[in-house]
Amino acid sequence: MSLAAALVLLSVGCGFSALAGNKESGNFKATPVKYTVSLNGQDYSLQAYTINDSDYFKLRDIAMVLNGTKKQFQVEYSDNAVQITMGRPYEKFGSELTITEGAKTAWSSAFGIYIGGNRVLYSAYYIDGNNYINLSDLAGTMDISANIDAVNCKVFISNSKCLRSNDGYVLTLVADNTDALLNGESKSLTAPPFIQNGIFFIPLKSVTELLGGTYSFENDIATVELSGNTTKYQIGSHAVIINGEAFEVSGSRTDFTKEWASVEIDDNYVPLVSNNTVFIPSNFTERCYPSSGSPSIASARECPISRMVILGGFENERGVNEVKLMDFYDTLPEDFKSHLKYAGVVGEVINYSIEEYKNDDLQVYVMRINKPNIDIEGMDGRVCAINVVGNSYSTSRGLKTGDSKDRAWLLYGYERFTGSFSYKVDDGLVTSFTFYTRYYGGRFGET
């Protein structure tokens, strides 16, 4: 059976009848309907709306459900367009998976919807600040199956397996050292990376297999299968083939002979063989990977001062395991909040007050609107800073207070992490670390 045949159009409103609004004015009546969506053995309650005899789901809800699977995607808005980036973890906005009562007015969405820069023709409606789509449209684009039990208001999503632990990775490599750090754990490489002509070279086979991928080498072509992508590297060439599509590596690169410098890519910046081992330059394929796939061994945070690179994605590293920046504090689990005590208002920014919730190891800062002012930043109730001073909490990468400065460097490098993370060191040990926003918290930590 083809995928199209496996998809069932959401045309039954589970007992509700949808009355179309005034089509000439572009508005329609949207009748609420609650669905149970099952994915990989877990059930989610989603609010859908029946419009013109079809059911539509909030795009952010679907992104939330698929987060952590091989079909995960990020949703961003810019210039009257919805940008969907496949393979990126979804960053929670705060209004996901909420249930409301009563009919709404839906408008034909004026937003263009794009996946990987290409516009897709989805049937979409705009309700209370969110875009609602027909699930079958999205499923067809993402190659997943959405089987609908309209009588019982259930959706069963398949072909979207959970990511393996190694699919989301952070790997630190140090030049001339076979010791590596994978997701905070020590690992050994079969060959050490090295720096030559100012280029950091990565041992391809060792790193690929460490991350759970497969590697082969024949006729001067190294083939890597990792995170759903197949990449072919030609020894001595700037050419690379990714998922059957040819690319030419060009532009500039980091010069590892200097503290802060970049130079144009030259003939030295190519895969090579040394001591019967294939090596590729750091960030060799970073600009080539399609947005619809995981980046494989493509993206590296380069640290010339410490002669190291950190491979992997950083999208979920905006807090400790229990709380992240931009979370709505009031909706966090009660068993977590019960360990924190309200400590009062500690500051103001724009038209918000900053509230502090704390215990001996953790301080969480939350923005509250000073009514009747408008929530112009969309930050009312959101976490704007997280400061950790005790070792009861750790980052998702594994950093705790009391860790050595060297370990902190290996995990995060010497820079302020993506402009929203810093750690403080005293006598060679990490004494605190902070995740912060432009609104609050940057003064707590220093590298």
Strand partners, 258: none
Separation in Å, CA 324 to CA 141, 347, 403: 30, 20, 21
Contact present, 160 and 144 (Cβ < 8 Å): yes
Structure tokens at 369: 């609107």
pLDDT, residue 15, reads 35
pLDDT, residue 355, reads 97
Structure tokens at 45: 């309650």
Give the CB-side neighbour count of residue 350, counting CA atoms within 13 A.
16
CA proximity to 303, closest of 416, 206, 208 = 416
Length of the chain: 447
Burial class (CB in 10 A: 0-12, 13-18, 19+), 349: middle
Q: Convert the pLDDT of each residue in 362-409 to its tens digit.
A: 999 999 999 777 888 889 999 999 999 999 998 877 889 999 988 888
Burial class (CB in 10 A: 0-12, 13-18, 19+), 337: middle
Give the Cα separation of 49 and 426 in Å (integer): 55
Q: Convert the pLDDT of each residue in 225-239 to its tens digit.
A: 887 778 999 999 999
pLDDT band at 16 (very low <50, low <70, confident <90, very high): very low
Average pLDDT score over residue span 282-307: 70
CB atoms within 10 A of CB 95: 15
- Regarding beta strands 245-248 and 352-358, do their DSSP bridges make them parallel or antiparallel, or are they unpaired? unpaired
Compare 146 and 447 and report the one with higher pLDDT. 146
Compare 315 and 134 and report the one with higher pLDDT. 134
Structure tokens at 277: 């081992």
Q: What are phi and psi of 225, to 5 degrees?
A: -115, 115
Peptide bond into 372 cis (omega under 30): yes
pLDDT, residue 80, reads 80
Q: Convert the pLDDT of each residue in 125-179 to its tens digit.
A: 999 989 999 888 888 887 787 886 767 788 888 766 544 433 467 888 999 999 9
pLDDT, residue 138, reads 85
CA 392 to chain centre: 25
pLDDT, residue 160, reads 62
Contact present, 48 and 57 (Cβ < 8 Å): yes
| pLDDT at 321 > cutoff 60 | yes
Q: Which 3 state secondary structure label does DSSP give 358?
A: strand
| Three-point CA angle 23, 24, 25, nearest 5° | 90
pLDDT, residue 316, reads 56
| pLDDT at 5 > cutoff 50 | no
DSSP secondary structure of 281-316: ETTTTTTTS-TTS---TT-EEEEGGGTEEEEE--TT
Q: What are phi and psi of 340, to 5 degrees?
A: -115, 145
Domains for the chain: give ranges and CATH numbers. 3-158 (no CATH), 165-312 (3.30.457.10), 329-436 (no CATH)
Separation in Å, CA 396 to CA 169, 271, 316: 11, 32, 8
Separation in Å, CA 114 to CA 139, 142, 221: 15, 13, 34
pLDDT band at 434 (very low <50, low <70, confident <90, very high): very high
CA 247 to chain centre: 25
Give the Cα separation of 370 and 382 in Å (integer): 14
pTM of the model: 0.54
